[in-house]
Every structure is written in structure tokens, then in C-alpha cells.
Structure 1
Amino acid sequence: MEFRLLGSLEVRHDGENVMLGGQRQRTVLAALLMRPNSVASVSYLAQAVWEKPPVAPESNLRTYVAGLRRVLGGDRLVTRPGGYLVSIQPGELDLDDFRRFADDGDKAWQEGDFTSAVEHFERALCLWRGQPLSGLLPGPVLRADIARLEDQRLTIAERYAHALIELGKPDTAVGDLRALIVEYPLREELWAQLMLALHRAGRQAEALDAFASARQHLIDELGIEPGARLRRVQQEILAGEQADEPDEEISAWRQLPMDIAEFIGRHAELRTLHAMAEPSSRTALAIATIHGMPGVGKTRLAVHFAHQLVDAGRFDQIQLWADLRGFDAERPPIPPSAVLEHFLRLLGIAGPLIPQELESRAALFRSRLAEKRALILLDNAASEEQIRPLLPGTQGSLVLITSRRNLAGLVGARGLPLDVLPQPEAINLLSLIAGDDRIEAEPQAAARTSALCGHLPIALSLAARRLRKRPMWTVSDLAARLEREERRLDQLAPGTREIQALFTMSYQALPAEQQRMFRLLGLHPGDDFTAESAAALAGIHPDDADFHLEAMLDEHLVQQNTPRRYRFHDLVKPYARELAAGQSAHPLYTWYLHATEAARMAFDPLRTRAFGFPPLPRDTVLPQFADHKEALAWYESERATLRVVVQVAAENGLPEVAWRLAWVLLSFYYRRSHWDDWIDVYQIALKAAKASDERHGEGIIWCGLGVAYSDLQQFTNAIDAHQHAQTILEEVDDLKGQAWNLNNLGVVYVYLDRLTTAADCFHRALVLFPQTGDRQGEGIALNNLGDTYRRLDRPDSAIKHLEQALKIQQEIGDKSESGLQFTYGTLGDIHHDAGNYKQAARSYEEALAVSKALGDQRTSARMLANLAQTLNADGDPEQARLRWQEAMKIFDELGDPQADTIRAQLG
């Protein structure tokens, strides 16, 4: 059989086309053929076939695979654990041949064997019949594969043209390059090769005309000037034409690229740069570095600042500029020796007089600039080693450097980290480029659009140009198109890969192990991550993960807003996720379950579980917590991520992680009153448990929901939840779960003043707790029963049960758990009822001390309110008012409705 992907999908057998079925079935085959002889996971296939995969894609995929087996033969498609494999023999798949010829051509091209390179490249390009898989409607993963193939084809075409030019056949390259430029008018390297081919063919006028056409396309479509590569080719062509003109030496001293009219804002940064331009001493050289992530506007700021200096009369004689190509995806950084040769020629040194050794060239360069005031702009620097030979030796000059790295090892340099634009400047940039009043007419949509662009200047520029080209669109239309994260980069600049190319340059500069971590981090749930969670995702030690993250921070591929926590820029994350297509983050979800349990045990060690956890891989490192404060701080920092982990675990086939993690989070949610998270997470976990028929998990989650509803005083919902829980927990014979559920249901009845029913619940719980050996639960239930008897005006029974509770809690050392604070609080209530206000106040203060030590803000507030009531009754209204105000402040911070009750009481 013959399988063809490089065009419309075709399968031929004995010279005849094979009928492959419907659109989805054909797409499944295309996705499998993209990974021939390798297992394609169900997750990969789902994202390749559907824009938004169904909840359970496995059954659909089985149907499509069965259909393909009928037309291809049963031995072609093999079922493997977790996915499917298509078996392909050598010579059957055009993609395999294309990749083989391309690799052979690349190897020859890298070695300078241009004859062999041309031969291999020609064979690869002849296989191309149009856009890969044209006619299909692929999902995001398959679209990413197609885009990578198209990029590879264009790279081959560019190198094929370069090889032809080097072999002295530039005219042969011209036709193919012109045809490709019609398809890809914004691909600058195609224009560069066309210009070189025309120039080498003696067609200088056409070469310069090609530059003008390329520049016009870039300005019209993207609003940007040609990049350094095109400008350098133009300069080489012009230098070739003007080599004998006597004034070349003088004119070549002024090399600043043109400034742009669309520069906006950056006032604080410009002030900083002006200060940096002043030498720190009378003899020191001024060196300023601008570093930041791709697309943040480093070059624009540097060029604008340089023009400000020249306009002010500084450095008006010599301005040198070079693109050091530190982050070029196709070519290595320019060595400092080559940059020095270029600079020396511009400064009037004839070629035969330029020495060959790097040190000698650097010495001549320093000599040439001695006692001169030169501005040297070095763009896209790769490293300190690339920069050092290019520095003048005396004061009076300014070296201005841009880089994606911070270049902290460059002695004497002062650095300016460049961040994205503030929102007002971002919106102003949108308005300036869009060129009409649509931005001002929709301020909220404009703010949303700038946020979806991550306030990144290049993304803002592309979005505004797209709006300008669509006069019928509103700003809301543009924002709606950008909302879908997985397609956002495509929506910014359809038909180009400009932003992806910026990120690719930095990504490809990373070592292989850091590239792998970068890809995997695209799958990380939540907005930020740590070395520990990154290590769990990559299966490495946290120390290694920390090293890799710090390296990526230096490359500005990740950001750091708080110590030890990292995050992606909003546009970098979908790029990383695209690279990670087909990979799984399942080990990370299981790690979060175990890590969250480790934190819970630090402040709630007596609350045991009646179920196991999915195992972790060997040698996995979990966080360690010295005390409950560290554990609660970890919970707060991971709170948003933990919520997302429950969601993605439920959606990605790990319901056992989703409901177990929700159970673990109960202790944290209860202490810190994060009710919105609590309800949302438990609703997600409940759906996951139901969908997977996890009856035990369903019962446990219903119980936790009941506690949340009770805290929110939604008592009807609370009773309903606890009754659901009790039915299921009895069904699965979970005695401990039943005991806790009955205890919590009793608390609801106490709130409703249904005290006899509450007492019955506590008695039933107290029958079960001893059977399970849960003395902590027994102590809490005894306290609750004592409080119920207090409310029933049976103080003797109340005190008896409270003394039993206190004895148990003291025996088990319950100072690390919440039972003791409640028992002290109930004892305070009994003393208050009896008019023993001094003793009541002492009990409330003991409960308050335990609550504060536990970080339990809500119980602290309740004890403060009770203490205030007691102080007021004891004739101390001033101290009472202070305690009420303190309690009200905490309740307000928690969003607890009891704050309004106290506020009304205080008047």
C-alpha cells in the first residue's frame, strides 16, 4: 500500500484509491500516520480528531479504528495499552520518505556538501503535493503537527535555494522562491534567499526591488520593518554596488536602524536608560543591557532610546549596530570575530589590513574608537562571551545591549529588565495601531483584548493590525476570537508563525532536558508552579528542576512574581502546551494528592482516612512541613492550582484522584472558610465519583458538602447532603464515615434548634466511633452532645459529656487538632449560662489561644464574639466592644454572614 499525507490524504492499493470512510475516520488515520510504528495515545487521538473532545472518546475511536481495519486489513492497526499503532513498511509512507531525504539533505548542508544537499532536498520537495492533509478538519494537536511540517518544508526550500546559490546556480533558485513567496509573503528568509539569488545572478536592481516588496508586505500586514536578516542582505548588496565610492567610509559610520512611529509609553524605562547612559566614573565605559522575554519590545526600546540620544546631540558622529543573532532558530549566533570585521570595515579599515585573530581585531577596534564618542547597539546578544570583545576600551562611548538573558556576568554593565506594558499603555498601543475610535468606544473589550494579548507589545501590535484590516469587526469580536487559548496565537496573525517563531528561538536555545521540562510545563494545571511540582511532572529530583527553572527564568521563558514560584506568560503557555501534545500530566495529579495529604497531616494528623491512594513512582520527593503554619502557607500558595487539579483529574480519566483530593482539602477549607472553592471543588468531585461509579467516594463527598452548606447556613441543603451521604456510607459499610456524617448532621440540627434530633445523631455517632478506634471523633461528638444538653437546659449531663471529651482530647494530645478548642468553647458557654462570667471568659480565652495556634480564623472569630458577650455581661463594655470589632473584622475577611449580626449589634 501507499500512504500519502503531503497533500490530501490518500491510500492506494494496487494503483487504486482506497475509500477511507467519513471525515472523522480519515482524521484518525491521518493522526496515526503522523506517528507511524509508534503508539498514538487515546488522549493524542482525541485532541487530533476533535476541536473539543467528547467526555469519553474511547468508544468513538474504537468505532473509527474498526472501520479502518475493514478497509486496510486487520494487521495494519494494532491495539496497544492506552492507544493504537499503525504498522508502516519502508517506502509506503510519503512522510517517512520526506523526513529521510530532509535529514540527509540537512546533514550534507551542515557539512558544506551542497551538491548532495541539493539532490536530497529536491527528492524531499518533490513529494510535496500541497498543504498536508488538506480537506480534513483536524483538531489542535494535528494542526500543530501540520504547522511543524509546513515549517520544515519551508526550511528545506530555503536551504535548497542557499545550496543552489553556493553551487553557482542562483537563476535556478529564483523561480521556486518567487512561487513560495506568493504563498508565504511574510516569511523573511524566503525573501532573503531571493535577494541573494538575484544579487549573485547579477540582477542587483531586482534584488533591491525584492527588498522593497518584502518591506511593503511587512508594513502592510504586520506594521513592522524588515528584520535584521533582510536588512543585512540589503546592506551587503548596497555595499557591493558602492565599493568604489570615496564617501562610503563616512556614511557607514551611522548605522542605527530607523525608529518607528508606533513607539508608545516606556517613560520610566527611558528615564532609567538615560541614567545608565552616564558613566559611573570619569574613566568608566557606560554599558546598559535591556533583557526580557521574546516580543516584549527590547529592540524597539533600544532603537528609540538611541535615536533620542542622537537627536539630543550625543553620539551623533559614530553609531554602530549589529544583530548578533543570539536566538536565531536557523543559524548560530554571529561570532564576535565576524562582528569586529564588519565594524572595522565600517570604520574605514580596508579588508587586507584587518587581522585574523580575535584578540588583534578587538585591539584594533578599541584603538579605532579611542577618544571618540561612539554609540554601539548590540541587538540579540547570546552571551557575555559574545559581547566582551566588542567593548571599547575607554570612556566616552555607550554600549547598548539587548538580550533574552540578563547577562549578569558582564562586568560593569547595568541591567534593565523589561516587562510587558502596563494596561493603559497597552490599550493606547492598540488604539494607535488600529487607527480609529473602536478601541475608545469599547473600553472593557479593549482591556480584555490587551489582557488576552498578555500586554505583550508584539501581540498587541498584531491584534491591532488585524482589527485595522477588519473594519466591520468590533473590539468585542476580536476579543471573542482571542478567548480560546489553544488558538490564540493563530488568531493574532493568521497565516504566519511570527510569535511562535520568537518563542521557538528561545526554546531551541535550551538544552534537551530543559526543552523537555518546558514542554511538560505546558500541561501543568493552574497559573504557576514550583520546582517540586515541576519535578513531579518531569520525573526528576526537585534540585534538578530548580536548576532548569532558573535557567528558563534567565532565558525569560518563565516568569517569577514571588520567590520559588514560576509562571508562564499567557502567550507562552499555549505554545508550550502545543509542544507537549500527546503527553500526559497524570503523575503530577497523583503527586498533588500525596503532597496535599502530607500538608494536611501537619495540622490535622488525627483525621485518618478509610481508603488508599494511587501509588507514586519510586524516588518521588514530597514536600516536608515543619509545623501547621508551613502547611497552611503551602495550601494558600497552591490553593488555585489544587482547585484546577481536581477539575483536570476529573476530566482526564482520574476520578479516584479527584474525589480523594477533595476529601483531603476539607481540613484546609474548613479552617480558612474558602467556601466558594469548597462548594465548587466538591461539586466537581461528586460528578467524577458518580460518573465512575465510585460509591464510597460519592458518600464521602456528600458528607463534605453537607459541612460546607452547614457553615453557609444553607441548612436544607446541608440535611439533604448528609442524608445522601448516610445512605451511601451505610451501603458501603464505612463505619467511620457514618460516624462523622452523623456528627456533622447533628450540628445542623443544633443550628435549627432541633435539639432532640441532634442528640440522637450524636448518640448514634458515639456508638460507631469507639468501634473504629477514632478517639478524636469520639471527643468531638461528646463535646457536641454536651453542647446540645446545655441548650436543652440539662447542665449536669452537659458537663459530664464535656469532661469526657476533655479527658479524651488531653489523652490523645489533641492540641494539634480542633476538638480541644470546641470543648473549651462549650465549657465557656455553660459557665456563661450559669452567670460565672470570669470562668466563662477564661474558657473562651483558652479556646481562642488554641484556635489562633491552629490558624483557625473562623473559630477564633467565634470565640472572640463569645468573649465579647461575656465581658459585656460582666460589666466591661469597652473591652467587649474591642473583641466584637476584632471578631467582625475576621468575619468580614472570611465573608461570613455573622459579621452583619455583630455590625447590627454594635450599631
Structure 2
Amino acid sequence: MHTAAGESPGGPRYGDHVDLRGGRFYGPVSLGTPPPQPPPGPDVLSALPAAPVGFTGRETELAALLRGLRPPDGSAAPGPARPWAVTGLGGIGKTALVLRAAHTARDAGWFSGGVLFLDLAGYDDAAVSPASAVASLLYALGVGDAHLPSKEVNQHALYLSRLATLADEGRRVLLLLDNVREAGQLPPLLPGSGAHRVVFTSRESQPSLPVRELALGPLSPRDSTALVTEALEGDDRLEREADSVGELTALCEHLPLALQIAAALLRRHRSRGRVASLVEELRSGHRLAGTLHSPGVDQYGRPLALAPVFEASMSRLPDGRARALCLLARIACADYDTDTAAEVTGLPAAETLDVLDDLACAHLVTRDEPGDEGRERWRLHGLVRSYACARDAADPGTAAAAHTARARVRRYLARRAEECDRHMPFPVHDPSPDAVRRREAALAWFDAEHANLVAAVLWPEDDEPEARVRLALSLAGYLRWRRFFEDWIAVGRTARPLARRLGDERAEAAVCNELGAALSRGGPSHEAIEPLTRAAHLFRRVGDPTGEGMAWNNLGLAQRRSGDPGAALATHTRARGRFRDLGDRWNEGRAQHNMGLALSAVGRDAEAAEAFVLAGELHRGHDRIYHGDSLSSLGWALYLGGRTAEAVTALQEALRIRREYDNWYATGLTGSNLALALEVAGRSAEAAEARAEADVACARAGTRAIVYGHHH
């Protein structure tokens, strides 16, 4: 301020009259009694709750967060620091992770200015407003009532000023903001200096803000068990009932809050005895998310109950999103691609994608990266599914909508499975690049939808028998190729009475044939004989000689595997005659091959080898995969007959063919047989190489390297 005329050299005294006419001012001026100045802040601020007790897992996430909080080295100028957002489903352990990181950082001396923690209560009935948050943080910074400006804008300016002063003094501050509900809560609270660090938690992603997001998923099974063990330290039930503890953590879907509630229930009901009792109680409950509650509060005063946490998240959803979530929950799919989800919601795919994006931002569904088929997939956490299913259980409108959605999904899956099944024949039937690509795409779709396709046949609703039978038949070829025998049997057993109810004898014959084939390969073989005999009878009645011959061929396999190779040889001979009369060389070759298997089973190895040679001739140049089958079986028959050198030659050629396709089971077992033959031939080094390759292939197929199974 320039001195006004007539001013005494000593300057004005407070209360004196000063003539300021003509003066020029730079910055604020105060005359009269000066306002009270805020007292100096504490040397080190500390508003950090206690570290979480029993924190387990999260090593990767904790390391990432600590890297973000670590002070920069001396060569790096502090630039704008992006806040860290720790997001995830309610109860996933966001606050525990943030507090663990904060205590570690504080103890390491990274924040000499202190640590501030504020719960913004975003999911309570009354969230903390930005203005109230600023006032609370000012109190933490040492600004009490007497020094707090009355206007919010001045409070905000003072807040930024105090943080700037600390930054100028080289004193970094860590600001933790818990339970942020929406992006608008954050900007007024962010420091103006890049020296400080901000971490906030939210049940929702905040895509409008430039933040580093750390999204949390469920714990691993090992870490879930560790959490329960830590919470029940010294409880001898854990060691006695290790299996039940594993079942308990699985029922809790590895959600930390659910695990804490389960531990509290075990502490509360210690007198009731076994962990298995709680497991049974939770498993038998129709509302698992509602069952998981315990009196009292946790370490931070929060209720031990899941349902209110999930309800708070669902009540925040935009219009229609909660309904979509409830429908998705009621359709018992393991996961969904966007097209399947569109069938559930009844919306166009583009609108469904918007819905799924909103649900993913709320962490009520999880978006998986596109797999081999190039499509995104979406999953519900099991406890979210449980809660969403129970939320409107008494509403008849919701039940009716779910029933309609389930029918849409089943019909859609049946259509797609039929389309993909048409492209499943082996490439030898059409080796063109386009056909191979179509087959690979069909296999990728079946692989991605495998669990959902099986479930859609097995859903217990007694309706839509036609769609369920169509789906079962379209799925059979894939299940056979991938050797999913249990699923193949379950699908066949479900579809058989449905086909009979339809009165469609051709469909019933096809289902019986597939069921028998599945039982002969993966179930009690003797149980396959009845449905295969029924299939042959029905195919004859509907005038389908090819189907009848295929049923006989499968029946012969079941007879051999049931311990009656003589009957099997007769049945395969009959099937071969039928196919020969029809001029069907492909199926004739299959029957010829199976005759060789029956001959080998009764020790007639020389005749078996001749049968396999004939089968190979029928398939040579016509079906390379079955030609490989015949060579593999021929090699084993020659090995059993002591013709080792010839056996090695046949098995090596068979293995070359096996490698061309993704049938790892056949590749592994043929390689195993080759290793045995090479060992007998004295070619140990080659045998070791063949055995190592066989072990890898069998591991990929989920089996073990043993002698080729058809011969035993």
C-alpha cells in the first residue's frame, strides 16, 4: 500500500483515522482490530483409524497402491498427482486395503505432514456434502470454530491454503476419502499441490475422473481360509474340520465381509459345535445373502450384514438397471456374453451393453476380457445373485418376467447351438480355410457357452421340451469331442423323457443313441445297452437305416466295454453289413474298426490287425482323423502280437495325424503307446521323447498317459 499524504512515519495506530484517498492497494487490507489468525497446525496430523485386524491376501494390490504413495525421488519434480480409486463390490475389502496401505506408508515416514481420513458416507441415508467435508478436514488441519470462515468459499480457500503451506514446507499429506458415492463429492477436496496424495474408495467406478483405478475382486480360496483362521485364532474346530472350512469360504464366495460374518457366527455359536453345521445352514437357506448376518458390529462400527450393503448399491442404479440385474440373477447361467444378456433383458444389444456397463461400474457384474471367441463376458458374484434373486421374490410380475426371459435364452441358445453344430464336422470333410475357420469359431463358442448350454437343458422348469431336446442333440457332438462325459450323460438323461413326451420317435431315437454312446464311454457301460437297443428299434420304425446302423455300432461298443466282446463282434459285423449295403464307406470303416477292437479284446490280435488295416483303407483319403484312429489301433494290435517294428511305424504315422487336430486325449494316448513300443524296440531316447510329449498332451486333455483305452 502506498502511504497516504499526512501519514506519520510510524504508520497508523489501530483506531486512528487514516485518509486513504488516492491510495492504491495490492491484496487484502484490514483496518481496525485484526481478525484472529488460525493457530499453527500440529506438527504431524494423524486422523487414521486403527489398522485392520486379520488382513490377508491382496499382496499385488497392496504393492501397487504403495508404489503410488511412495515419495518421488529427488530428481522428479512433483507434478499433478492422480488420485487412486480403490473400487469394488460392497464388502470386498476396499477400506481394509486402503488402511493397511496408509499405516504402512505412515510408519515408513512417507507423509511427514500427516494422514487425514474422512468417511463420506456415500451409501448411507445422508451422505457427507463437499462443504461439510471441507469443514471436517479443516478441523483436522487445526482450524477450530473460532477460526473457521463463515462462508463456504472461504473455507475452501483456507483448506487449499493450509495444504499448500504444508507442501511448501516439504510436508506431504495423505488424504483418505472412504465411501465416495459420486464424482461430485471429490473435486472440492483435492489438494492443489501435487506433493500430496489422495486415495478414495467407492463401490462404483468413477469414469469421469482422471484417476488410477484399482478394482478389487474376491479373495483367493487360500486367502479366504487364512482370513477365517485369523479371525478364529485358537479355535480347534478349524483344524478338525478343514474340509468344512473350505466349503464355508466357497459358500461365502470369498467375499471378505461374508467371511467376517461367518467367523462372527462361529464365535457366537461356538457351543453348537461343528463348522459343518453352519455350512449346512447356509447351504439350505434360500436367501444366502440374507442369512449372512450377525448381531454386533465390526472393528470400524459397521453392521455385520450383507443385505443392506447390496441394497444400498442396487438402490443407486439408474432406471431399469435393478430390474435387469434381477433378471440376470434369475437365469442360472455361469456367465453371459452380451447377446445372451440381451435375450435376458429383452432389449437390443446396444441398449443391453449400456445396462451392463452401468452394472459393471457399480461392480454388481464383472466384465471379463474377450476370450478366444472375441466376445466380452459378464459374471455376477454369487452372493449378489443370491440377493438379487430374493429381492423381489414375492412379486408375481418379476417371476413372470424371469420365466419369459428364461424361455428366450433357451430358444436362443438352441438356435446358436444348431448353427454351430453344423460347422463341427471334422476339417477332413471340408478342408477349405473358410470351413476350418467356421469350425474353430463354432468350437470357441461351444467352449465359452459350455456350462450355460448344459444348464439350459437341465433347468428344472417343465416346459419347452422341444427346445431342450433340440439343444441336447446339438450339444452332443461337442460334448463327445471334448470328452465331457458326465455332462453328455446328464443332458441325455434329461432329454430322453422330454423327447418321449413330445411323441417324436425320431428325436427319441437320436437322444437314446447319444445317451447310450455317452454311457458306454463315461458311465456304467451296461446301462448303455437298453437305450441303444431302444434307439435301434425306433430308427427301424421311422425308416432310418443309417441311424439304426449307428445305434448298432454304439451298442457293440457298450457290449465290449460291459465284458461281452463276442456279442460286440456280432453287433459290429451286423452294422458293417448295413452300411456296406447303403454304400456308406465312412460308417462302414467305423464299424470295421470296432470289429478290430472286439477281436483284440478276445486276444485275436492278428485278425484285429487285419480289421484295422481294412478300416484304414476305407478311411484313407476320405477321413484323415478316422484313418489316424485305425493306424493307432493297428499299431497297438501289432505291438501285442510281437511285431514291434511294424507297430512303431504305424504309431508314428498315427501320431503325425493326431498332431494336426486339437484332440489332445487321442494324441496323448497314441504317444504313450508309441513310447512303450519304442522302449521294447530298444530305442530308449526316442521313447523318452514320446513319453514326454504324451504327458503334455494328456495333461491338456485332463487325463493321464496310459495304454490306449479302447484295448482294455
The reply on whether 1:256 has 2:47 as its aligned counterpart is: yes
> Compared with structure 1, are the counterparts of its residues 709 and 425 closer, same or farther at alpha carbon in structure 2 (3 Å cutoff)?
closer
The reply on whether 1:576 has 2:391 as its aligned counterpart is: no
Q: Shift of residue 762 of structure 1?
A: 1.9
Q: Give the distance between the partners of 2:329 and 2:671, measured in 1 at CA.
A: 46
The reply on whether 1:588 has 2:402 as its aligned counterpart is: no
Could you tell me which of 493, 504, 509 is aligned with 2:316? 509
Could you tell me which of 580, 599, 602 is aligned with 2:423? 602
> Compared with structure 1, are the counterparts of its residues 833 and 400 closer, same or farther at alpha carbon in structure 2 (3 Å cutoff)?
closer
Q: Give the distance between the partners of 2:337 and 2:314, measured in 1 at CA.
A: 20
> Compared with structure 1, are the counterparts of its residues 778 and 290 closer, same or farther at alpha carbon in structure 2 (3 Å cutoff)?
same
> Compared with structure 1, are the counterparts of its residues 745 and 388 closer, same or farther at alpha carbon in structure 2 (3 Å cutoff)?
same
Q: Give the distance between the partners of 2:609 and 2:108, measured in 1 at CA.
A: 88
The reply on whether 1:677 has 2:477 as its aligned counterpart is: no
Q: Secondary structure at the match of 1:512?
A: coil
Q: Secondary structure at the match of 2:191?
A: coil
CA shift digits 1:66-124 (9 cap, x unpaired): xxxxxxxxxxxxxxxxxxxxxxxxxxxxxxxxxxxxxxxxxxxxxxxxxxxxxxxxxxx
Would the aligned equivalents of 2:655 and 2:670 in 1 still touch at CA under 8 Å? yes
Amino acid corresponding to residue 760 of structure 1 in structure 2: R
> Compared with structure 1, are the counterparts of its residues 376 and 728 closer, same or farther at alpha carbon in structure 2 (3 Å cutoff)?
same
Q: Shift of residue 481 of structure 1?
A: 0.9
Unaligned runs of 5+ in 2: 1-35, 296-302, 371-375, 394-398, 430-434
Q: Give the distance between the partners of 1:464 and 1:592, measured in 2 at CA.
A: 41
> Compared with structure 1, are the counterparts of its residues 598 and 854 closer, same or farther at alpha carbon in structure 2 (3 Å cutoff)?
farther
Would the aligned equivalents of 1:602 and 1:626 in 2 still touch at CA under 8 Å? no
> Compared with structure 1, are the counterparts of its residues 275 and 895 closer, same or farther at alpha carbon in structure 2 (3 Å cutoff)?
closer
Q: Give the distance between the partners of 1:702 and 1:693, measured in 2 at CA.
A: 14
TM-score, L = length of structure 2: 0.73
Unaligned runs of 5+ in 1: 1-244, 609-623
Would the aligned equivalents of 1:872 and 1:880 in 2 still touch at CA under 8 Å? yes
Q: Shift of residue 383 of structure 1?
A: 4.2
CA shift digits 1:239-287 (9 cap, x unpaired): xxxxxx9999979x97837437745335735555444323444424654
Q: Give the distance between the partners of 1:270 and 1:759, measured in 2 at CA.
A: 68
Would the aligned equivalents of 1:629 and 1:855 in 2 still touch at CA under 8 Å? no
Q: Give the distance between the partners of 1:590 and 1:301, measured in 2 at CA.
A: 44
Q: Shift of residue 380 of structure 1?
A: 1.6
Would the aligned equivalents of 1:785 and 1:801 in 2 still touch at CA under 8 Å? no
Superposed counterparts of 1:596-745, under 5 Å: 596-604=417-425, 626-648=437-459, 650-689=460-499, 695-711=505-521, 715-745=525-555
Of 597-606 and 524-533, the range deviating more from structure 2: 597-606
CA shift digits 1:793-840 (9 cap, x unpaired): 499998777655546x3xxxx56xx44544666787899999999998
> Compared with structure 1, are the counterparts of its residues 851 and 671 closer, same or farther at alpha carbon in structure 2 (3 Å cutoff)?
farther
Q: Give the distance between the partners of 1:742 and 1:827, measured in 2 at CA.
A: 23
Q: Shift of residue 299 of structure 1?
A: 2.5
Q: Shift of residue 401 of structure 1?
A: 1.0
Amino acid corresponding to residue 214 of structure 2 in structure 1: L
CA shift digits 1:196-230 (9 cap, x unpaired): xxxxxxxxxxxxxxxxxxxxxxxxxxxxxxxxxxx
Of 879-888 and 526-535, the range deviating more from structure 2: 879-888
Q: Give the distance between the partners of 2:288 and 2:506, measured in 1 at CA.
A: 41
Amino acid corresponding to residue 215 of structure 2 in structure 1: P
Q: Shift of residue 522 of structure 1?
A: 0.5
| Residue in 2 that maps onto 1:479 | 279
Would the aligned equivalents of 1:738 and 1:765 in 2 still touch at CA under 8 Å? no
Could you tell me which of 77, 86, 92 is aligned with 1:290? 86
Q: Give the distance between the partners of 1:603 and 1:626, measured in 2 at CA.
A: 11
Q: Give the distance between the partners of 2:548 and 2:452, measured in 1 at CA.
A: 31
Q: Give the distance between the partners of 1:698 and 1:556, measured in 2 at CA.
A: 45
Would the aligned equivalents of 1:628 and 1:854 in 2 still touch at CA under 8 Å? no
Q: Give the distance between the partners of 2:52 and 2:609, measured in 1 at CA.
A: 83
Would the aligned equivalents of 1:782 and 1:805 in 2 still touch at CA under 8 Å? no
Q: Shift of residue 503 of structure 1?
A: 1.6
Q: Give the distance between the partners of 1:378 and 1:410, measured in 2 at CA.
A: 15
Superposed counterparts of 1:59-74, under 5 Å: none
Q: Give the distance between the partners of 2:588 and 2:202, measured in 1 at CA.
A: 64
Would the aligned equivalents of 1:730 and 1:738 in 2 still touch at CA under 8 Å? yes
Could you tell me which of 570, 574, 584 is aligned with 1:760? 574
Amino acid corresponding to residue 632 of structure 1 in structure 2: L
TM-score, L = length of structure 1: 0.59
> Compared with structure 1, are the counterparts of its residues 263 and 876 closer, same or farther at alpha carbon in structure 2 (3 Å cutoff)?
closer
| Residue in 2 that maps onto 1:371 | 165
> Compared with structure 1, are the counterparts of its residues 466 and 604 closer, same or farther at alpha carbon in structure 2 (3 Å cutoff)?
same
| Residue in 2 that maps onto 1:65 | none
The reply on whether 1:860 has 2:667 as its aligned counterpart is: yes
Amino acid corresponding to residue 339 of structure 1 in structure 2: A
Q: Give the distance between the partners of 1:301 and 1:320, measured in 2 at CA.
A: 16
Q: Secondary structure at the match of 1:854?
A: coil
The reply on whether 1:519 has 2:326 as its aligned counterpart is: yes
Q: Give the distance between the partners of 2:533 and 2:68, measured in 1 at CA.
A: 70
Would the aligned equivalents of 1:279 and 1:395 in 2 still touch at CA under 8 Å? no
CA shift digits 1:372-418 (9 cap, x unpaired): 2444322222344532332111244332211123446644x444333
Would the aligned equivalents of 1:259 and 1:300 in 2 still touch at CA under 8 Å? no
CA shift digits 1:401-450 (9 cap, x unpaired): 11123446644x44433343444554454456567725435333233222
Would the aligned equivalents of 1:528 and 1:568 in 2 still touch at CA under 8 Å? yes
Q: Shift of residue 294 of structure 1?
A: 0.6
Amino acid corresponding to residue 419 of structure 2 in structure 1: A
CA RMSD of aligned residues (A): 4.7
Superposed counterparts of 1:275-314, under 5 Å: 275-280=67-72, 281-284=76-79, 287-303=83-99, 305-306=101-102
Q: Give the distance between the partners of 2:305 and 2:247, measured in 1 at CA.
A: 22
Q: Shift of residue 672 of structure 1?
A: 2.5
Could you tell me which of 247, 251, 269 is aligned with 1:452? 251
Q: Shift of residue 782 of structure 1?
A: 6.3
> Compared with structure 1, are the counterparts of its residues 307 and 745 closer, same or farther at alpha carbon in structure 2 (3 Å cutoff)?
closer
> Compared with structure 1, are the counterparts of its residues 788 and 293 closer, same or farther at alpha carbon in structure 2 (3 Å cutoff)?
closer
| Residue in 2 that maps onto 1:465 | 264
Amino acid corresponding to residue 298 of structure 1 in structure 2: K
Q: Secondary structure at the match of 2:70?
A: coil
Q: Give the distance between the partners of 1:632 and 1:853, measured in 2 at CA.
A: 16
CA shift digits 1:765-791 (9 cap, x unpaired): 444x56xxx775456456657988997
Q: Secondary structure at the match of 2:85?
A: strand
Q: Secondary structure at the match of 1:483?
A: helix
Would the aligned equivalents of 2:249 and 2:259 in 1 still touch at CA under 8 Å? yes
CA shift digits 1:848-868 (9 cap, x unpaired): 444433322333345446656
Amino acid corresponding to residue 160 of structure 2 in structure 1: R
Amino acid corresponding to residue 554 of structure 1 in structure 2: C
Fraction of identical pairs, as percent: 26
Q: Secondary structure at the match of 2:423?
A: helix
Amino acid corresponding to residue 295 of structure 1 in structure 2: G
Would the aligned equivalents of 2:485 and 2:518 in 1 still touch at CA under 8 Å? yes
Would the aligned equivalents of 1:782 and 1:802 in 2 still touch at CA under 8 Å? no
Q: Shift of residue 722 of structure 1?
A: 1.8
> Compared with structure 1, are the counterparts of its residues 720 and 488 closer, same or farther at alpha carbon in structure 2 (3 Å cutoff)?
same
Could you tell me which of 417, 433, 450 is aligned with 2:215? 417
> Compared with structure 1, are the counterparts of its residues 542 and 860 closer, same or farther at alpha carbon in structure 2 (3 Å cutoff)?
farther
Superposed counterparts of 1:713-862, under 5 Å: 715-748=525-558, 752-753=565-566, 754-767=568-581, 769=582, 777=587, 780-781=590-591, 793=607, 803=617, 805-806=619-620, 809=622, 814=623, 818-822=625-629, 847-861=654-668
CA shift digits 1:438-464 (9 cap, x unpaired): 543533323322222223222222223
Would the aligned equivalents of 1:889 and 1:899 in 2 still touch at CA under 8 Å? no
Q: Shift of residue 626 of structure 1?
A: 2.8
Q: Secondary structure at the match of 2:706?
A: helix
Would the aligned equivalents of 2:287 and 2:387 in 1 still touch at CA under 8 Å? no
Of 477-486 and 857-866, the range deviating more from structure 2: 857-866
